[in-house]
Amino acid sequence: MSGSTLGKLFCVTNFGESHGPAIGAVVDGCPPGLALCEADIQLELDRRRPGTSRHVTQRQEADQVEILSGVYQGLTTGTPIALLIRNTDARSKDYSAIADTFRPGHADYTYWRKFGERDPRGGGRSSARLTAPSVAAGAIAKKWLAQTHGIVIRGYMSQLGPIAIPFESWDEVANNPFYAPSAAIVPELEAFMDQLRRDGDSIGARIEVVAENPPAGWGEPLYDRLDADIAHVMMGLNAVKGVSIGAGFDCITQRGSEHGDEITPQGFLSNNAGGVLGGISSGQAITVSVAIKPTSSIRIERQSINRAGDPVVVQTLGRHDPCVGIRATPIVEALLAIVLMDHALRFRAQCGTNGPAAAPL
């Protein structure tokens, strides 16, 4: 009912609110015997953390994870893993001015229409703070996928507003606050963001995420197609307005002779499918692209209404990300990892541990 649980065999249940005492996740279904400690998870949380550059929200959260259960003497036990992250820098007074009004583009209006009452502090349950537990759970999935299948999941920003970011090298991604795979473009991105902040406005972005080395055979034929589950989890991320896999919307103008990836005894000749055919992984890299909208909380005055239905002008002050896409890369990586681990376990449950019966490629 609440829509806070993801996955069938690797199940992640997310809880908490932006300005409550803590947020977290319960991860159920992780196989026993995986070496796991808080540092494994902290590594990924630190990549998502706010307050790490002038281009993101200045909320200072340590995002320290505590493992409360499911790990004994450094190994997962197969029982639920409870992950807790305490909120330490909530400034609820920042939200008193907008408690009675609805920010255009934010969840305030729809939460109020559905629930009647809402917790406006920090966006309550609609806050992107709730992506931290997803990143924590995704860290477990990433580690398990890497150890059991050699799968590497990594992402990068390919566009910031009007600026297309050329892919130059994976090595550059960790060297700048944008997760841009090009060093040369960074000064342009910085100048764009500095002007945007002066304008009190926000901007959208595009993030790519790739899973390398997946085996063929993961996914289900119909409603739980692997690509459907990937789209579901990505659309579940705050501010995502579009998800595409492989060639995505470019397939509209492609011909069959161009789009269909030819197969040779040595392997596929292209990857327009993005690694998924018929809802099942082909063994090629799984490539996903995500469109992220501009932040709704901006200093520029916007028309809205209050709870009584009267017209008001809304101006959002406080600490916000001027481009939420800047912090999205580790989150989309984590979400892809959670979906892939769930399907890995589902494949194992149905087909055994040996992989596809015939694997000529």
Closer CB to ligand FMN, 244 or 295, in the complex: 295
128 interacts with ligand FMN by CB under 6 A: yes
SS3 170: helix
Kindly state the smallest distance separating residue 61's Cβ from ligand FMN, in Å: 12
296 interacts with ligand FMN by CB under 6 A: yes
> Residue 265 and residue 273: Cα distance in Å, rounded?
18
> Residue 226 and residue 17: Cα distance in Å, rounded?
30
| 118 assigned binding-site residue | no
Among 61, 220, 321, 342, binds ligand FMN (CB under 6 A): 321
Kindly state the smallest distance separating residue 105's Cβ from ligand FMN, in Å: 7
The residue among 235, 240, 331 whose CA lies nearest residue 291 is 240
Contacting ligand FMN within 322-341 (CB under 6 A): 324, 327-328
297 interacts with ligand FMN by CB under 6 A: yes
Task: Using CA atoms of 355, 337, 333, 277 in order, give the dihedral in degrees to the nearest 10.
Answer: 40
Among 18, 126, 158, 282, binds ligand FMN (CB under 6 A): 126
Contacting ligand FMN within 100-119 (CB under 6 A): 106-107
| 176 assigned binding-site residue | no
Kindly state the smallest distance separating residue 331's Cβ from ligand FMN, in Å: 6
Kindly state the smallest distance separating residue 148's Cβ from ligand FMN, in Å: 29
Give the contact letters, 232-251, x = binds to ligand FMN (CB under 6 A), - = no.
Answer: -----xxx------------
One-letter amino acid at 106 equals H
Contacts of 177 (CB under 8 A, 6+ apart): 52, 53, 55, 56, 326
SS (H, E, C) 29-96: CCCCCCECCHHHHHHHHHHHCCCCCCCCCCCCCCCCEEECCCEECCEECCCCEEEEEECCCCCHHHHH
| 264 assigned binding-site residue | no
Contacts of 235 (CB under 8 A, 6+ apart): 243
57 interacts with ligand FMN by CB under 6 A: yes
| 299 assigned binding-site residue | no
Binding site for ligand FMN (CB under 6 A): 57, 106-107, 123, 126-128, 131, 237-239, 293, 295-297, 320-321, 324, 327-328
